């Protein structure tokens, strides 16, 4: 029996791509580079600031300007973290259903806590979540299962009693390694060359409402 539902944050619980895309395009504009269409940026968002700078500037992490640009991107994003971001359609209704059934829910993300915590607070979900595990909460990050084990300890449930939903292969690897039921969120930030059908999730879903079928 499922006693808790855990969500990845970017691309599963919240549609953060508009704010992250705006931040990247602002950095590009400041550097005199052409901005990128949203549909090009969106699939890359789940992979964080490093991937976004690589996408926008087409150079590696070893480039002398890379870290300056990454930090500038994060500065802009931090200052506009909840300007265009919303939870995905159906998430709020799902949370109300979970809460009515006394099924705990929480967030397990690789996003660092200094970004996760203010975003969850500004969206109004901090006090409702049973656990919020960020990329720096534990020594390991996904695809390692430790963040998911940590969430289970906070909620006081067994991993086998938990459902984990994510939109990246590392989410499914982590959830499977933890012994959880795993769902791939196809409505999230799936890149064109991704093969989610090969990630090994228990199922793939097209909308948050589909999660109710697995409770």
43 and 56 inside one domain: yes
- Beta-strand pair 86-87/4-7: unpaired
The pLDDT value recorded for residue 172 is 98
The DSSP line for 89-151 is TTHHHHHHHHHHTT-EEEEE-SS-HHHHHHHHHHHT-TTT-SEEE-TTTSSS-TTSSHHHHHH
Q: How far is Cα of residue 130 from the mean position of the Cα atoms in its chain?
A: 17
Dihedral angle, C-alpha 136, 21, 189, 112, nearest 10 °:
0
Active-site residue 19, yes or no? no
- The structural domain count of the chain equals 2
Residue 46 sits in the same domain as residue 142: no
CA distance 11 to 1: 26
Lookup result for tokens 């595990």? 133
Is the domain of 209 the same as that of 154? yes
Query: Encoding tokens for residue 25?
Result: 């395009």
Q: pLDDT tens across 124-179, in order?
A: 999 999 999 999 999 999 999 999 999 999 999 999 999 999 999 999 999 999 99
Which tens digits make up the pLDDT trace of 21-63? 999 999 999 999 999 999 999 999 989 999 999 999 999 999 9
In this structure, the answer to whether residues 55 and 96 fall within a common structural domain is no
Question: What pLDDT, on a 0 to 100 scale, did the predictor assign at position 100?
Answer: 97
* Closest of 5, 1, 78, 73 to residue 44, by C-alpha: 73
Catalytic one of 10, 15, 171, 210: 10
Domain identity same for 106 and 197: yes
Catalytic residue among 8, 19, 171, 210: 8
Residues 91 and 197 in one domain: yes
Of 37, 61, 79, the residue at which a domain comes to its end is: 79
> Which residues touch 162 (CB under 8 Å, ≥6 apart)?
2, 3, 4, 5, 6, 148, 151, 152, 155, 178, 180, 181
The whole domain housing 116 covers 4-15+85-214
Q: What does DSSP assign to residue 205?
A: E
Tell whether 51 and 152 lie within a shared domain: no
pLDDT for position 214 = 86
- CA 58 – CA 41 distance, rounded (Å): 13
Pair 73, 179 in one domain: no
CA distance 215 to 3: 8
Residues 97 and 127 both lie in one domain: yes
Instruction: Note whether 210 and 111 are same-domain residues.
Output: yes
Residues 208/89, Cβ–Cβ less than 8 Å: yes
Q: How far apart are CA 170 and CA 176, in angstroms?
A: 10
Confidence of residue 213 (pLDDT cuts 50, 70, 90): confident
- CATH classification at residue 167: 3.40.50.1000
Confidence (pTM): 0.96
Pair of tokens at residue 131: 């656990």
Residue 215 has pLDDT above 90, yes or no: no
Same domain? For 123 and 178 the reply is yes
Same domain membership, residue 154 and residue 119: yes
pLDDT tens-digit profile of 93-120?
A: 999 999 999 999 999 999 999 999 999 9
Check if 10 is active-site.
Answer: yes
């Amino acid at each position: 029996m499922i006693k808790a539902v855990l969500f990845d944050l970017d691309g599963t619980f919240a549609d953060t791509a508009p704010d992250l895309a705006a931040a990247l395009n602002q950095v590009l504009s400041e550097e005199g580079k052409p901005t990128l269409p949203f549909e090009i940026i969106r699939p890359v968002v789940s992979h964080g600031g490093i991937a976004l700078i690589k996408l926008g500037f087409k150079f590696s992490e070893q480039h002398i300007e890379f870290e300056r640009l990454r930090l500038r991107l994060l500065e802009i994003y931090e200052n506009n973290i909840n300007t265009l971001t919303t939870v995905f359609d159906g998430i709020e209704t799902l949370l109300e259903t979970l809460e009515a059934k006394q099924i705990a829910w929480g967030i397990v993300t690789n996003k660092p806590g200094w970004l996760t915590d203010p975003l969850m607070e500004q969206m109004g979900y901090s006090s409702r979540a049973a656990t919020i595990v960020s990329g720096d909460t534990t020594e390991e990050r996904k695809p390692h299962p430790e963040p998911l084990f940590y969430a289970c300890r906070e909620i006081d449930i067994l991993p086998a009693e938990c459902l984990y939903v994510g939109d990246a292969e590392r989410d499914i690897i982590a959830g499977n390694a933890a012994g959880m039921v795993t769902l791939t969120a196809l409505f999230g930030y799936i890149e064109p060359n991704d093969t989610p059908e090969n990630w090994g999730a228990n199922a793939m879903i097209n909308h948050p409402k589909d999660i109710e079928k697995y409770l």
